[in-house]
Copies of this chain bind each other. A is one copy, B any other.
Amino acid sequence: MASNRQTFENLPEEKRGRVLNEATREFADHGYQGASINRIVDRLGIAKGSLFKYFGSKEGLFEHVFSRAVADFKGPLKAIRDSEGDFFTRIGQSLLAGAAFIDGHPHIYAIYLKMLFNENFPLRERFLGEIRRAHAKYLGALVDDGIAAGELRPDIDRGMTVFLLHTTLDRFLQHHAVPSLDTGIDPAPRSTEDRVRAVTDFLRHGLGQR
């Protein structure tokens, strides 16, 4: 059946939201393959035919859910890029903004992580490429500003610095979202703010002027 997405757009906003939330949760909990259309419609209390009228297929549903999520991803970054503060302050703000996004959209971030390491998600390349480019552009701009302002060592390699920053921020967020990544050694679990401070201090030693 051809999808008729207009039908979905015509729905009352409350119902649209419920449908998307329930679908997002299902994909987050079970991945793409494991997600069950039957469970979604059961929880929603609507007929299966309706979902297929809206989105045409399972893949169409996923595409709708995740492309909305990608748009949400990009929002908070822009605000920080335009904000004041030195390089390391803005990195700290980025960490906090990322953590806040995860806390506010845990299901979406869970889907993102599953997609990162699962080759058989549909549209994987398109979505990951989009996110990756946005992230790299964002960090590259921060690094350029930091160098221009003399806050970073002048001898650092821009590409490698972006890679290391990306590494550190991404893993910080993975840790925030999936605590089982804990080392299991640290006896005093820290607050998010404490961890942000430790990470930025570490980067300051590694990258900053002295």
The chain A residues found within 8 Å of chain B, CB to CB, are 29-31, 33-34, 110, 113-114, 116-120, 125, 128-129, 132-133, 135-137, 139-140, 157, 159-160, 162-164, 166-168, 170-172, 175, 178, 180-188, 198-199, 202-203, 205-207
Contact = CB atoms under 8 A, between A and B. Distances in A.
Given A178-B117, A198-B160, A136 B171 contact: no
B178 A116 contact: yes
Contact of A164 (B118, B159, B181, B199): B199
Nearest to A165: B183
B140 A185 contact: yes
7 contacts: A132-B180, A136-B184, A157-B198, A159-B183, A159-B185, A164-B198, A164-B202
A87 to B, nearest CB: 15
